Amino acid sequence: MERLQNLLQQLDAAQVGARMFALMERLYPICRSITGQGVRQTLDILQESLPLVRSEVPTGTPAFDWTVPNEWTIRDAWIKDSSGVCIVDFKRSNLHVVSYSIPVHRRLGLRELKEHLHSDPEHPDWIPYRTSYYRETWGFCLAHQQLLSLQEGEYEVCIDADLRPGSLSYAECVIPGASPSEVLLFAHTCHPSLCNDNLSGVVLLAALGQYLRRSQLQWTYRLVFAPATIGSITWLSRNQGHLGQIKAGLIVSVAGDPGAITYKRSRHGNSLIDRAAANIVCQGEKPGTVLPFSPWGYDERQFCSPGINLPVGRITRSPNGAYPQYHTSADNLDLVQAEHLTDSLQRIMRILCVLESDRRYLNLSPFGEPQLGRRGLYQMMGGYTNIGALQHALLWVLNYSDGLHSLLDIAEASGMDFQTLLHAAELAEQSGLLSPGPLSLDLCTISGSELPTYGHTT
């Protein structure tokens, strides 16, 4: 096995992007919701490449202030006009039906029908995505221009569906590392044919899991695939005794559109994952955006609720609701591109590399600047593309390695790339100039008195 940073350097961007996009194409037609066969079918496909442990939580199970709802099963749905022509067909687009619609089969006039129709006047060619998880009703979604074209007359509507006791499905993949302390990675599985919001996070997490399984890891990684909100709340309620093991986490979604990468901080605001993500997101040719925490968005608001308060942030490209195609039929395979999926994957892998590598060092020659040439450090830089940056990094690392500052601290102070500082620290360690201290996630359980520091000298 290799270190994650080595696998990142070897990553074939075109190949991994094509694999993620192919998986998305396969998952795209499936009608998913917060429960039901669509979620199970999605997990079946993911299980072909990841060793998932699956859970079925029965209807009626309490989950904090919530209860697992009835399971929704849909077989078909349509609207026919007075001449019997099918004008809205679930088989053409699973977005045509309001998710969790109760069964219905009846005839009604246009005025009454319109009370159950949903469209988006701002985007008249797109079908909107609507849900009714916790209110028993039914409805159809259609393009606004089609809604405007409907003529007076009698219509026949049919939603062949069931709402019955069943279960909520979620799955986990635990990838063990040297420490039992965990990094949580979460993607929601509850949306139907929507590519960026839902499937991009699913396929990215599936690809990331395969790289993590090939890596020699310091930390244990727990990948969770579950429905949004009720899924994460149910998972949290069933794992309360385990939450102390989780030291960092990321919610992954909206990862394939052309927008710049965006990180939303956890409720902690300045936890290790917040600092690592902010450092990586703001680096590179296309720096992204870092947002403060807010109690609105995806499942980060569940993991960051006051009674849970885990250091779990969210990474996306465009934030949810901040791109025109959000929750419409235009969030399709034309919107998402393999190159954006790959860039998102690489950014997340870089963030995890910080978690894997960040530690405090102790300078073993702290009195004045040590002589680098005598130790062969300049020769050890051979093959590095930017010698000046590496020399600069060596000076930063040696100066700040007092047992109190980590590499991430030094990256923030210097504005330098974390990987360059890591390489400099490894060279200095090999030359006997640095002694490594605990990894940063370990510092959550180490008191300040246990950290190495220099005594006063006179």
Domains 4-69+168-356 and 71-164 share a fold: no
The strands making up 86-89's β-sheet, listed across from edge to edge, are 86-89, 71-80, 154-164, 104-109
Single pTM value for the model: 0.93
Q: Which two tokens stand for residue 15?
A: 């190949």
Taking the C-alpha atoms of residue 243 and residue 238, their distance in angstroms, rounded to an integer, is 10
- Output the pLDDT for position 379: 53
327: annotated binding-site residue?
yes
Closest residue by Cα to residue 345 from 7, 42, 48: 7
Helix (H, G, I), strand (E, B) or coil at 79: strand
359-450 in CATH: which number? 1.10.10.10
The whole-angstrom distance between residue 71's C-alpha and the CA centroid of its chain comes to 25
Which residues make Cβ contacts (< 8 Å) with residue 223, sequence separation at least 6?
Answer: 50, 172, 173, 174, 175, 185, 186, 187, 205, 208, 209
* Tens digit of each residue's pLDDT (9 = 90 or more) over 56-97: 999 999 999 999 999 999 999 999 999 999 999 999 999 999
197: annotated binding-site residue?
yes
191: annotated binding-site residue?
yes
Which fold is adopted by the domain 4-69+168-356? Aminopeptidase (3.40.630)
* Tens digit of each residue's pLDDT (9 = 90 or more) over 262-316: 999 999 999 999 999 999 999 877 889 999 999 999 999 999 999 999 999 999 9
The domain locations on the chain are: 4-69+168-356, 71-164, 359-450
| Average pLDDT taken over every residue of the chain | 93
Which residues make Cβ contacts (< 8 Å) with residue 289, sequence separation at least 6?
Answer: 260, 261, 262, 263, 281
Local structure of residue 382 (DSSP, 8 states): T
pLDDT band at 409 (very low <50, low <70, confident <90, very high): very high
* Tens digit of each residue's pLDDT (9 = 90 or more) over 191-222: 999 999 989 999 999 999 999 999 999 999 99
Which fold is adopted by the domain 71-164? Glucose Oxidase; domain 1 (3.50.30)
102 burial class (0-12, 13-18, 19+ CB within 10 angstroms)?
Answer: middle
pLDDT band at 377 (very low <50, low <70, confident <90, very high): confident
